[in-house]
Amino acid sequence: MAQKQVLVVEDDAAIRQGIVDALKFNGFLVMEAKTGNSGLEIAVRASYDILLLDLILPERDGLEILRELRQVRPSIPVIILTAKGDEADRVAGLKLGADDYVVKPFSVKELIARVEAVLRRSAERPGDVSTVPLPGGTADFQRREIRYKDGERHELSEREAELLRYLVCNSGRVIARDEILSRVWRINPNRVETRTIDMHIARLREKLRDDSENPSVLLTVRGKGYMFAGKEAVKRE
């Protein structure tokens, strides 16, 4: 079984090192960040299985990171790390989509048990992805590119990559335009009229070699939204 990758965002060096050491000792791979900005950057772009997130961080707090993360990567499991008296923050974190919380100070055994339990519960949720197979090629979200077996490559803009990844993570489900605006563009769909989604879908279809007149990878469901066809999209490979 492949080792699970954990991202730890914690500004206290001693606590962070203790968590990292405990996770490594128990067979996990670990990435770490000590500020809110660096934590958000890694959380949004890196490939990992679960996030351990402190709420009190320099530059931006953990709740802000969680809010941003849930908009672009809704399936990543998150455990928040809180101080004993921060009940309001724990409640706020759970409402934003955290899977569990651990109160400081905590024991190594408790932390590992919580991580393993959340990973077990998360096994059936729609997974986040770093790559996805395509007809004749692969979409690589870490490199932000689509590459084909014949050598052709297409760079993805940040927004194109976020949009495609969100559709892929929700493969087989029709995603409404309002949800895309809220989750990917992070704007209130009630306050803006825009055709930018359609333009991004059109550009993605060109890079995906998806026939705009009869698409089989990024489907348009009239009156409802868009859908990534999932496994059906690679049948013609």
Residues 6 or more apart from 138 whose CB is under 8 A from it?
131, 132, 146, 147
197-229, pLDDT tens digit by residue?
A: 899 999 999 999 999 899 999 999 988 899 998
Fill in the amino acid letter for 216: S
**Residue 173: its pLDDT value, please?**
84
pTM: 0.58
**Residue-range domain boundaries for the chain:** 5-124, 131-234
pLDDT digits (tens, 9 = 90+) for 97-122: 888 989 888 999 999 999 999 888 76
User: Under CATH, which architecture does the 131-234 domain have?
Assistant: Orthogonal Bundle (1.10)
**Cα dihedral sign for 129, 133, 134, 137?**
positive
Q: How far apart are CA 131 and CA 90, in angstroms?
A: 33
CATH 3.30.450.20 holds for 5-124: no
Q: Output Rg (C-alpha) for the chain, integer angstroms.
A: 19
Q: What is the mean pLDDT of residues 145-161?
A: 92
Q: For CA atoms 92, 93, 97, 103, give the dihedral sign.
A: negative
